[in-house]
Amino acid sequence: MSKYQLRPVGDRALTVEFENEISRAVNQKVRALDHLLTEKKLRGVEELVPTYRSLLIRYDPLTVSFEQLERYIERAVSKASALQLPKAIVTEIPVLYEGEYGLDLEEIAQLKNKTVEEIIRIHSQSDYYIYMLGFSPGHPYTARFENPFSFRRRSTPRVKIPGGSIVVQLALSDIIPFDQPCGWNIIGTTPLLACDYRQENPFLLRAGQWIRHVPIDKSEFMEIKRQVELGEYKPRTYEKEA
């Protein structure tokens, strides 16, 4: 049975905290509890927000009390440890790694004494796991577990980088959904939108899924971009093998 702490967050929310570390094992506990509570739809539970090592639960205290939730969560955590979660989904993110679309590629390669091709191969050969979304709508917090590789930070952040930029820092890779300032290195650009409000489900990614970066060339980039702008593009997804 997983160890956890339950803490009130004001009078209409609480957080279930597992071990104080960022790891796939701990995040799986969050995922399992999130999955169970989402399926069960307990009356009074209004919203669930999975993060690295905790699950935030917004609830209506006029419908369900904190004590009732405490008991419910105790049973749920116990059940969740035995839960077989559905296979995770990998979403392919096409990336154009060149020229102005991969502004910092050469610099990254130089810093690591590698060629640009090697950097592209390193970045695209492994899946990145999505721990959670946040910071801005659709924005993933990711990490990779195989073939560890650390990308250096920039010494000076940029005031604005375009939405669609793929940025890297340390062991992380991010898709920037909208124009914003950023201190990470731009390794490539994707024609996909991490957040497209025109879609019924605007969000490309979800916590618990994986990302696979796939190198494409300029003409493929323009074609996919055209489809994305028309709202017609369907990203390629598949189940991740354990």
Q: Looking at beta carbons only, is 7 or 236 nearer to other proteins?
A: 7
Q: How far is the CB of 41 from other proteins (least distance, A)?
A: 13
User: Does residue 21 bind other proteins (CB under 8 A)?
Assistant: yes
User: Does residue 31 bind other proteins (CB under 8 A)?
Assistant: no
Using CB under 8 A, which of the segments 58-66, 111-119, 164-172, 220-228 binds other proteins?
A: 58-66
Q: Which of 133, 109, 110, 113 is nearest to 123 (CA)?
A: 109
- Cβ(224)–Cβ(190) below 8 Å: no
User: Does residue 7 bind other proteins (CB under 8 A)?
Assistant: yes
Distances, alpha carbon 116 to alpha carbons 31, 99, 103, 150, 230, in Å: 36, 11, 12, 15, 32
Distances, alpha carbon 206 to alpha carbons 22, 133, 135, 138, in Å: 17, 7, 14, 8
Q: Cα separation of 107 and 18, whole Å? A: 39
Q: How far is the CB of 11 from other proteins (least distance, A)?
A: 4
**By rule CB under 8 A, what count of residues binds other proteins?**
42
User: Does residue 77 bind other proteins (CB under 8 A)?
Assistant: no
Q: How far is the CB of 142 from other proteins (least distance, A)?
A: 13
The residues, ordered by sequence, that sit 6+ positions from 152 with a Cβ below 8 Å of its Cβ are 108, 111, 169, 185
Q: Which of 39, 41, 47, 86 binds other proteins (CB under 8 A)?
A: 47
Q: Which of 1, 40, 43, 61 binds other proteins (CB under 8 A)?
A: 61
Using CB under 8 A, which of the segments 8-16, 92-100, 121-129, 184-192 binds other proteins?
A: 8-16
Quick note: the x/- pattern for other proteins over 130-169, rule CB under 8 A, is --xxxxxxxx-x----------------------------
Burial 98-110 (b: 16+ CB within 10 A, else e): beebbbbbeebbe
User: Does residue 183 bind other proteins (CB under 8 A)?
Assistant: no
Q: What DSSP state is assigned to residue 199? A: S
Residue 160 dihedral angles phi and psi, to the nearest 5°: -155, 130
Q: Looking at beta carbons only, is 15 or 152 nearer to other proteins?
A: 15
Q: How far is the CB of 59 from other proteins (least distance, A)?
A: 11
Judged by CB under 8 A, the chain residues 103 through 132 that form the site for other proteins are 132
Q: Which of 187, 210, 74 is nearest to 131 (CA)?
A: 210
Q: Cα separation of 151 and 172, whole Å? A: 8
Q: Which residues bind other proteins (CB under 8 A)?
A: 7-13, 15, 17, 20-22, 46-56, 58, 61-62, 66, 132-139, 141, 195, 197, 202-203, 206-207
